[in-house]
Structures are given as C-alpha cells and as structure tokens.
Amino acid sequence: MEQLFINILLTTLLLVSFGLLSSLFNAMILSPKRLRSKLEKQGVTGPPHSLLLGNLWEMMSTKFKSSKTPKQQQQVTSHNCAAIVFPYLVKWRNQYGPTFVFSLGNLQILHMNQPNALKELSTSTSLLFGRPSHHHHDAILGQGIIASSGHVWAHQRKILAPEFFMDKVKGMMKLMEESAFLVASALNEEIEKGGGVAELKIDDYTRSFAGDVILRACFGSNYAQGKQIFLKLRDLQAILAQVLLLQWIPGIRYLPTKSNMGMWRLEKEIQALILKVVKERKQAKSHPDKDLLQIIIESAERSDLGQDTNSFVVDNCKNIYFAGYETTAVSAAWTLMLLALYPEWQHKVRAEILQTCRGPLPDADMLRNMKTLTMVINESLRLYSPAVIVPREALGDMKFGGINIPKGVGVWITLVTLHQDPDLWGPDADKFIPERFANGISGACKVPYAYMPFGAGPHTCLGQHFAMMELKIFLTHMLSNFTFTLSPKYRHSPFMNLVVEPEFGIDLFVTRL
C-alpha cells in the first residue's frame, strides 16, 4: 500500500513537471517562433535572433559600442538623438526599412514607422489594439513606474480627462507663475553670488519648477509627503534605467537580484506612502484642497473599480510623477539648451515675449499668441522628445498598417527615430529649425501624424495642454529676466533614463537682463 502511494505520488510529480516544462517550452520557444513565422510569411523580416535572449545581446553590444564614441564637448553639430539613445533601432531600420520585427527575450516586437501605420494609429479605436498586457513588467518603457491595468486605464481617461486636465489648466496658471517666480529668485541669488553671472546645471532648476507645480497641483497640503513619494519614485527610476535591457531576459525579473530587491522595496514603500495620504484624507472626511489627488480619490470612490480602487489611486500618482513632472522638467531643460546654443532664436523668442506681455504676468491669450515660442517648443519636443516609444499590443488577431498581426505581438512606434526620419522631415531632420513649424504641425512634415510627442489616438497624453502651458509660462519667465549661453563644461549626451534626459546635466551661463 505504501509503495502504491509512493508510485502515485511520483507519477503525479512527473506529470506536473512535464506539464510545466511543456508550458515553458511553448511560451519560451514554440509560441515566439510561430508568431515570428506569421510575420515573416508576409515579408516582414528583421535581425537574426537567438532562443531565450532574442536580440538582447546585439542590442546591448551595439549600445556599448555607441557609448564608447567620444562625447562632443562644446560644439553640438547634430541633434541625432536616435543614433545615441537607440543605435540598434537606427541600424535595423537602415537594414530592413521602417517595418521590421525583433525580439526582446521571448517577446516579439513589430517596429512600424511607415506613414499608413501612423495615420491608422492616430484614428484607431479598436479594442484589439491596446496597451501591452506586459506593461507592469515593461521596464524599457518606464512602465515599472507607471503601470496600469487596462481596466484602470479606461476609468482614468473617462474620469480624469474632463474633470481636471481640460477644465483646470487655466486655473493652474497662477500656481505655475508662482513656481516660475521662485526659480527666477533662486537664479538671481546665484547670479549675485557669482558677481553678475552664474554657471549652473539648469536641469536642477527645471526640476525644481516642475516638481513644485505638480506637487502643489496634486498633493496640496500634503506637499511634504508628496515630495517624499516623488523622491522614492526618482530612486526607482534610477534603478530601472540601469537594468533596462536585462529585465527582458526571461525569468530574471523574478530573481532576488540586488536591483530587483531594490525595486520591490521601493514599490512597497511608495504604495504605503500614497495609501497613507489617502487614508488620512478619508479620515478627515472633508478636504479643503480640490487638488488632483482629491479628484482621483473621489473619482475612484464613485466608480465601479471595486478592489482596483487602491491600484487606481496609486497608479495615477505614479503616472503624475512620470508624465507630469519628469517629462516637463526634461523638456524645459532641453529647450533652454537649444536656445543657449542658438542665440538668434533666443533673441527672437525674447523679443516676442517682451512685445506680447504688456504686464508682469502673461495671460492665456498672450501665451496662445506667442507663435515663435510655440515653434521653438515644438522643435525641441521633436528633437528631444522625452517620451521615446508609443507601445501597443495586438490583444487579438488583427490587421494594422497593412499587416496581419497575430495576437500577442507588440507594436512599437519609436518617436526618437520617427521624429528624425529624413524621409518624413527632409535631409535637415537632425537640425534645429523651428521655422518648420511656422504653419503649425500640419505643415511641418510630409505626414502630420509623424509628430506625436504626446502620443497619438485614444491614448494621447491627458496632460498635454497642462504641459504646454507649463513650458510656456516657465520659458516666458526665464527669457524675460535672463540670458543663457552654453558653458564649455557642457557634454552633449542624451541618455535613456526612462525619458531622454541629459546624462551629465546641462551647464549654462546665466546672466540677468
């Protein structure tokens, strides 16, 4: 009897082990091979890949070789950000055209930057073409920070867009102007210390501005707690940036490595801090601040999210950090770098600001009429778009861009290559030429859909109007009070830190007008 029991147990263990191995073999080898085969039969090719690693080794080696290229010190002759940030994508595009397939571990990615796909992306509302199901592990896109389930995302767009980002932008102008004034005061202090000129890393000050705006807009009276959350999110971002490609090695994200344990710890701490603020507000019953956090809490309570309520609140706070703070700070820094590098455009923008603003503070109509400033911001966002990829996934078998895409294949529209594609923007695609936007976005490119710094279609960034207003107010304050020139210390090195930011900071000389 005992022997029979042992035999049954061993047989069960063998069957379970065989089932697990079969599932693993299918997920890691057979399924990716089938998906790639379906694409290759339609003429979609790509770089040779290996089992398990896919194209990760080539991506890492290409990036390593690119990083060994001497950094430009004083002269910035090209703004080919794509060649620095994603050299492997540029290489593959030159080899296989704008549409090709490559592998991140066992995940198949279809790279599509051709015009018909861009147009379709901008108008598609298909439920089969949505946010990737692997987003909560998508470290290369920063989704370790801004993870959201599809259910939560749907509620986010339905609830937040009309209630805050569209109706509240004008009401936030005073807050933005106060934050810009604080930065101007800090710059004046540094100029006084420097005897009339200050040599500064200007990105420290753009972060100060963007952080102050979004913390006040989001957390209100819980400003200090919000700042603590943002600092931990910054730490999480730094760890993710170090292991971008390694995270795609199958199974590695589940191992107790130093980086994984650091991320797990920070994620728990961030969630605990956010939920602590939420609990305090709920216990208070009434809250005087009608800030974004309060709107998120009340919206979650009115929704049918059920057990997803906490996830909705936590994920949106993470989204606010990444989309509302990080991207705006970096965009402002890149724009000031470009204006320092091209003083003729700095003079043009300043002249427009001084002519348009008849009082100490610009109003919304004045900002809207600043055509030159808008052109400069648009060109800066084209060359140094903080967002790098618009990711989608075929959630079912579907047709997109003239290609039958099987379920489970990821689709990438890469903004850093798209925004500098000579076929779309002309031979001067890597040059800073704000005039290309003189007739608006529709006249800047052969295909207007090719410009999407805020994404495209139903997943367009909810805060794009907020971000543009923020950038205009900040630059208006800076350029009406100071002049900026590039420091010899500046090392031009766009760096993928989940957003494209300056690796060594942006060193500028700042003087008072």
Cα–Cα distance for residue pair 9/492, rounded to 1 Å = 64
Q: Are 388 and 500 in contact (CB under 8 A)?
A: yes
- Is 218 annotated to bind a ligand? Reply is no
Nearest to 322 by CA among 119, 126, 76, 499: 499
HEC secondary structure over 78-130: CCCHHHHHCHHHHHHHHHHCCEEEEEECCEEEEEECCHHHHHHHHHCCCCCEE
What single DSSP character describes residue 420? T
Cα–Cα distance for residue pair 142/239, rounded to 1 Å = 11
Nearest to 494 by CA among 171, 66, 183: 66
CA dihedral defined by 362, 365, 369, 374, rounded to 10 degrees?
70
Long-range contacts of 150-155 (CB under 8 A, 24+ apart): 151/305, 151/308, 152/305, 152/308, 152/311, 152/312, 152/315, 155/299, 155/300, 155/303, 155/305, 155/312
Cα–Cα distance for residue pair 210/217, rounded to 1 Å = 10
Residue list, annotated binding site for heme: 461
Known binding-site positions = 461
